[in-house]
């Protein structure tokens, strides 16, 4: 039942599978204007070809989780990759904006099916410290996608049409599928397979949502991600309009801040190897997130703060997020080994839901080229996450 590889190749494969949604979204960002010109569509229609991906991605885990608990991780993973590859081909060959939008929804469904399973696989195979090390390592690989996605998309546009981006998506999916087929064994024990009867599925989700650790840490991940996505969503407007960055300059600045996730994940790996307790890591990381969010908010109350007073706390927030994620994922999924697929689905869906809410709220509140909206959402999300952890979850975390 175990995976054939537990070394670098195993980690790289799980990281690549986890990164597929981010790569599919970020690579397509530079192509929006070209899609609009090619089809003669409105800007809103062209932009929706990016946004609808999230619609498919955010709903798929709720269906895929029970399927993975019933049929195993590997066949569901391969099915998700096959759907993603076929939908990518559909995007590349789309004769109209309507067909492209439908294909993007299906591409999102395939990505959603793939993205939740690496966490479930790690829960199947590892316990305690080893599980946290694997989660941190996968986070490092996963975090590279947002950094290289837009650059890779722009590079493909320099040598071919926008359809080449989606053809590349298909090649990536087929490649990941080949490695999954050859290198990844089934991790889910047949004795733990669950029925697909509606009553059983509902009971599984009820159990995951009412489990203190799973429900609580899913909420924490969602709240912290709301602040992070507030920054992601509004940062182009803030730094280009408010601070006068060029498109290229903003790209470099965004890559620098986004690399904080890698720094946090590397630090978490170092701490785990030195037997730091999950409670100590979460205490420090969630405190840093709350203070960083408050710093941006308070600095923005006086008007237009210096760039350092925005970038420095944002870097701290994102780096601390890299510390929180592996530990929160472990604490959320570990208590529910027999429904790890459902638990992973709850975690990912909470992350996406709160991220969408945080990004939308920050965009709605954004005014006068000020970081106040970002600071408000970051501080609210960070403080709420800290409160949930302190009052509800901390006593149950390993000291």
For position 353, what pLDDT does the model report? 83
pLDDT exceeds 50 at position 4: no
Instruction: Supply the Cα-derived Rg of the chain in whole angstroms.
Output: 20
Burial of 171 (C-beta count, 10 Å sphere; 0-12/13-18/19+): exposed
Look at the block and give the residue holding tokens 């599928």.
177
Residue 93 near residue 213 (C-beta atoms within 8 A): no
CA nearest to 50, candidates 22, 25, 83: 25
Residue ranges of domains in the chain: 8-193, 207-396
CA nearest to 49, candidates 38, 35, 39, 62: 35
The per-residue pLDDT for range 201-257, each reduced to its tens digit, is 899 999 999 999 999 999 999 999 999 988 887 887 888 888 988 867 877 888 888
For position 6, what pLDDT does the model report? 61
Can you tell me the distance from the alpha carbon of 225 to that of 359, in angstroms, rounded to the nearest whole number? Answer: 9
360-366: which pairs have CB atoms within 8 A and are 24 or more residues apart? 360/233, 361/226, 361/230, 362/229, 362/230, 362/231, 362/233, 362/234, 363/233, 363/234, 366/234, 366/237, 366/238
Confidence category of residue 313, pLDDT binned at 50, 70, 90: very high
What are 36's two structure tokens?
Answer: 């609009």
The per-residue pLDDT for range 271-299, each reduced to its tens digit, is 988 888 889 999 999 999 999 999 999 99
For position 5, what pLDDT does the model report? 43
The per-residue pLDDT for range 40-53, each reduced to its tens digit, is 888 777 777 776 78
242-245: which pairs have CB atoms within 8 A and are 24 or more residues apart? 242/304, 242/369, 242/370, 242/371, 243/307, 243/369
Look at the block and give the residue holding tokens 């397509």.
28
Can you tell me the distance from the alpha carbon of 111 to that of 151, in angstroms, rounded to the nearest whole number? Answer: 21
For position 310, what pLDDT does the model report? 95
Residues 6 or more apart from 159 whose CB is under 8 A from it?
A: none
Can you tell me the distance from the alpha carbon of 392 to that of 219, in angstroms, rounded to the nearest whole number? Answer: 11
Query: Lowest-confidence range among 26-40, 85-99, 139-153, 167-181?
Result: 139-153
Share of residues in the chain with pLDDT > 90 (%): 39
For position 160, what pLDDT does the model report? 92
- Equal fold, 8-193 vs 207-396: yes
Element (H, E) at 358: helix 340-365
For position 314, what pLDDT does the model report? 96
If phi over 0 gives left and psi between -120 and 50 gives alpha, with beta otherwise, what is residue 368? Answer: left
Q: What's domain 8-193's superfamily in CATH?
A: MFS general substrate transporter like domains (1.20.1250.20)
Can you tell me the distance from the alpha carbon of 209 to that of 113, in angstroms, rounded to the nearest whole number? Answer: 20
What are 72's two structure tokens?
Answer: 């195993």
The dotted CATH code for 207-396 is 1.20.1250.20
Can you tell me the distance from the alpha carbon of 385 to that of 84, in angstroms, rounded to the nearest whole number? Answer: 33
């Amino acid at each position: 039942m175990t995976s054939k590889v537990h070394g670098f190749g195993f980690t790289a494969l799980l990281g690549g599978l986890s990164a597929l949604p981010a790569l599919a979204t970020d690579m397509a960002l530079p192509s929006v204007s070209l899609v609009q010109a090619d089809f003669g569509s409105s800007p809103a229609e062209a932009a929706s070809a990016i946004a609808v991906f999230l619609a498919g991605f955010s709903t798929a885990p709720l269906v895929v989780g029970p399927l993975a608990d019933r049929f195993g991780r590997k066949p569901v993973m391969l099915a998700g990759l096959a759907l993603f590859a076929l939908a990518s081909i559909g995007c590349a060959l789309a004769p109209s904006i309507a067909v492209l939008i439908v294909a993007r929804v299906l591409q999102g469904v395939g990505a959603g099916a793939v993205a939740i399973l690496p966490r479930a696989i790690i829960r199947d195979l590892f316990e305690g410290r080893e599980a946290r090390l694997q989660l941190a390592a996968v986070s490092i690989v996963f975090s590279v996608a947002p950094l290289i996605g837009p650059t890779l998309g722009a590079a493909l546009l320099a040598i071919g049409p926008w359809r080449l981006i989606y053809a590349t998506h298909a090649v990536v999916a087929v490649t990941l599928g080949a490695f999954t087929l050859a290198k990844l064994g089934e991790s889910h024990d047949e004795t733990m397979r669950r029925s697909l009867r509606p009553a059983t599925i509902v009971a599984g989700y009820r159990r995951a949502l009412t489990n203190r650790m799973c429900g609580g840490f899913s909420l924490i991940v969602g709240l912290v991600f709301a602040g992070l996505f507030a920054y992601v969503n509004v940062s182009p407007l803030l730094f280009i309009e408010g601070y006068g960055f060029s498109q290229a300059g903003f790209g470099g600045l965004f890559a620098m801040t986004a690399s904080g996730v890698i720094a946090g994940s590397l630090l978490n790996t170092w701490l785990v190897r030195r037997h730091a307790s999950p409670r100590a890591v979460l205490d420090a990381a969630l405190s840093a997130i709350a203070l960083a969010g408050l710093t941006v908010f308070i600095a923005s109350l006086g008007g237009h703060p210096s760039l350092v007073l925005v970038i420095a706390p944002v870097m701290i927030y994102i780096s601390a997020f890299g510390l929180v994620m592996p530990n929160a994922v472990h604490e959320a999924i570990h208590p529910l080994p027999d429904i790890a697929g459902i638990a992973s689905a709850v975690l990912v869906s909470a992350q996406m839901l709160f991220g969408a809410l945080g990004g939308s709220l920050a965009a709605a509140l954004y005014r006068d080229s000020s970081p106040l909206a970002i600071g408000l959402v970051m501080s609210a999300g960070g403080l709420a996450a800290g409160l949930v952890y302190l009052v509800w979850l901390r006593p149950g975390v390993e000291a």
